[in-house]
Structure 1
Amino acid sequence: MKDAASQPAWKVWVKTSRPFTLTASLSPVLVGTAIAGYEGTFHIVTFLVTLLSCLCLQIGTNYFNEYFDYRYGLDHEGSLGASTVIFRQEMTAAQVLGGGIACFAVATLLGIVLIFLVGPAIILFGLGGMLIAYFYSARPFKFASRGLGDILVYIAMGFLMTWGSYYVQIHQWSWRAFAASVPVGLLITAILNMNNVRDYQDDRAVNKKTLPVRFGLRFGQRYHAVLLIGSYVAATIFALTGILPLYALAVWLTFPLAFTNVRSVLTATDRSAFIIGIKRTSMLQFQFSIVLSLAIVVATVLSARV
């Protein structure tokens, strides 16, 4: 067993936060804020507080996921999907749980700042996000173990974070922000699905009913392709119908990466390909969102000159 003292404590804490996944919080905030800027409003302080709050919420979720999967016997020392810091005695279960609570506490404090900046309606966003994040892994709901993780991740990190980032800038409903949340949400869901495809064997062994476990590994591979291709189809439809700026079609610049991703996942026969698939999907999701955000910014600048 690995000695906890063999690496600095801060590296263990960082590893457990799963930093490579945090683009899933950064991307919707960037896109939602870009939409607000396109419609004429951008407050830098509000943007930064929103971004930090979302990052803390996701980091806390990752800690809780690590803790509850250990507590409920869903992970073991050899699990590919876990950082296994508890099994390796790099952190205690109490430390992991405490990390999740601390992150939620910071997110709550930042939420209070947003209440003063935006208004009490933001409480609904915060409560909704925290409840989904906590009960994603925790009893009595254990959404991830019931095959509901995909839809809840789409709602929380696609819709709520994208439109919520718009709402804190402009306090109103926006179909444009909703439209932008669709491809963003599909790609974030694809990261989760790729994670579930990788963990298919482990999850099946402990009866964790993810969608690949419910419908089969081949379904998970095809579902991945639908999510990725669907993000480009959605962005194209919204751009051509004028809901999003036409410049949003620039997301097709990232399609070669998506094509390679889909082809490798559909033809994969071992888990190592799925591990690579997670990293590629995360990279694709971030690049897609960056290009979409920049396209909206360019549309904003050009429209201001007209």
Structure 2
Amino acid sequence: MNEIKQNSLYAWLLAARPKTLTGAIIPVLIGTSLTLADKEFKVVPALLCFLFACGMQIAANFINDLYDYLKGTDREDRLGPERACAQGWITPGAMKWGIGITVLFSCVIGCGLLYACWGDLPYGGWELIVLGATCVIFAFLYTTILSYQGWGDLLVLIFFGFVPVCGTYYVQAYTLTSDVIIASLISGLVIDTLLVVNNYRDREQDTLSGKHTLIVRFGEPFGRYLYLGLGIIATLLCLWFVKDWNITTILLPFFYLFAHVRTWRRMCKIQSGKKLNSILGETSRNMLLMGLLLSAAIIL
């Protein structure tokens, strides 16, 4: 890794953290599957939602990278090798430009989404402007302030659950349903497992740096069982979509639960240290599995 050229394309790719894009893609995938089931699918708005979600995720990663570096909380053993500023792969000045460009890209995509939907939206599309601006504002606030005050889990439910799932469905169907609300909650709960295992791994350093996550506040056992409980609740909520006791629809989400419990058992054995990075990878894989299985169950 030492041969990586400063500010190179490969350095930017590492800083973007492609593995985290799973969390951006899953809610849009679920929202789009609902439009397919309701025969409301529209290609252009769906594609723009994917691009906006990925752009905002990368922007948030850049902001997080820079802020942790400036705050002095970056440590390779805790945060892994993808922190570009701490590794010297990207200069702070260049990272500021990267943040500006990715935020601008997301805003342009959002404007494209507004243009694509404007003529059909019942309220003229102003609600999308407010929603997009809120996403940008909280991308900065979460990394710099709110995550340090223990608001991370709630914000994941909002911005990786209700906002992207409801938003993706709304710009295609121009309405919301109870199915969309339940699917949003499932998405937020599943994606929150990634934040929980991240905070579980970092709990000792977070305590020292004054980051008051739920696991810092309530302890290691709470974090361990919170991770397990999120997956169980999300799986049980999937039964909402069972129609006429379709056995395929019933069983599909439980494949996720099986993988989730296996990962949880490994997490409990490791408990602390750098080896928990492997649990992050498994959790990301499990999240994608749930996104695919829930989408299939909805369409079926």
Question: Normalising to structure 1: TM-score of the pair?
Answer: 0.89
Tell me if the contact between 1:75 and 1:82 (Cα under 8 Å) persists in the aligned partners.
no
Q: How many residues align?
A: 292
- The match for 2:197 among 194, 198, 206 is 194
- The match for 1:183 among 183, 186, 197 is 186
What is the match of residue 290 of structure 1?
292
Output the amino acid matched with 2:284. Answer: S
Could you tell me how far apart the structure 1 residues matched to 2:264 and 2:132 are?
A: 34
What is the match of residue 123 of structure 1?
129
Deviations 1:29-60 (A, max 9, x none): 01101101211111111111110011000100
Could you tell me how far apart the structure 2 residues matched to 1:206 and 1:3 are?
A: 31
Tell me if the contact between 1:197 and 1:220 (Cα under 8 Å) persists in the aligned partners.
yes
How much identity, in percent, do the aligned residues show?
27
Could you tell me how far apart the structure 2 residues matched to 1:12 and 1:94 are?
A: 14
Deviations 1:135-193 (A, max 9, x none): 1112xxx1111110111011001111111110110111221111111111111111011
What's the CA shift for 1:82? Answer: 6.5
What's the CA shift for 1:79? Answer: 3.5
What is the match of residue 95 of structure 2?
96
What is the match of residue 256 of structure 1?
258
Tell me if the contact between 2:78 and 2:274 (Cα under 8 Å) persists in the aligned partners.
no
Q: Specify the SS of the correspondent of 2:288.
A: helix
Q: Specify the SS of the correspondent of 1:124.
A: helix
Matches within 5 A, 1:141-290: 142-236=145-239, 238-240=240-242, 247=249, 249-290=251-292
Tell me if the contact between 1:3 and 1:89 (Cα under 8 Å) persists in the aligned partners.
no
Could you tell me how far apart the structure 1 residues matched to 2:243 and 2:185 are?
A: 15
Could you tell me how far apart the structure 1 residues matched to 2:78 and 2:268 are?
A: 23
Deviations 1:79-122 (A, max 9, x none): 32572322222111122222122111001001111111223221
Output the amino acid matched with 1:131. Answer: I
What is the match of residue 143 of structure 2?
137
Q: Specify the SS of the correspondent of 1:270.
A: coil
Tell me if the contact between 2:242 and 2:250 (Cα under 8 Å) persists in the aligned partners.
no
- Stretch deviating more after TM superposition (25-34 or 7-16): 7-16
What's the CA shift for 1:241? Answer: 8.0
- Stretch deviating more after TM superposition (224-233 or 93-102): 93-102
What's the CA shift for 1:74? Answer: 2.3
Deviations 1:222-254 (A, max 9, x none): 111111111111112x13588x99826521122
Q: Specify the SS of the correspondent of 1:90.
A: coil
What is the match of residue 54 of structure 1?
53
What's the CA shift for 1:273? Answer: 4.1
What is the match of residue 302 of structure 1?
none
What is the match of residue 15 of structure 1?
14
Structure with the bigger percentage of helix: 2
Deviations 1:7-26 (A, max 9, x none): 88212111111111101111
Could you tell me how far apart the structure 1 residues matched to 2:220 and 2:9 are?
A: 36
Output the amino acid matched with 1:195. Answer: N
Could you tell me how far apart the structure 2 residues matched to 1:110 and 1:274 are?
A: 36
Could you tell me how far apart the structure 1 residues matched to 2:287 and 2:293 are?
A: 10
Tell me if the contact between 1:4 and 1:88 (Cα under 8 Å) persists in the aligned partners.
no
Alignment gaps of 5+ in structure 1:
300-306
Could you tell me how far apart the structure 1 residues matched to 2:22 and 2:46 are?
A: 16
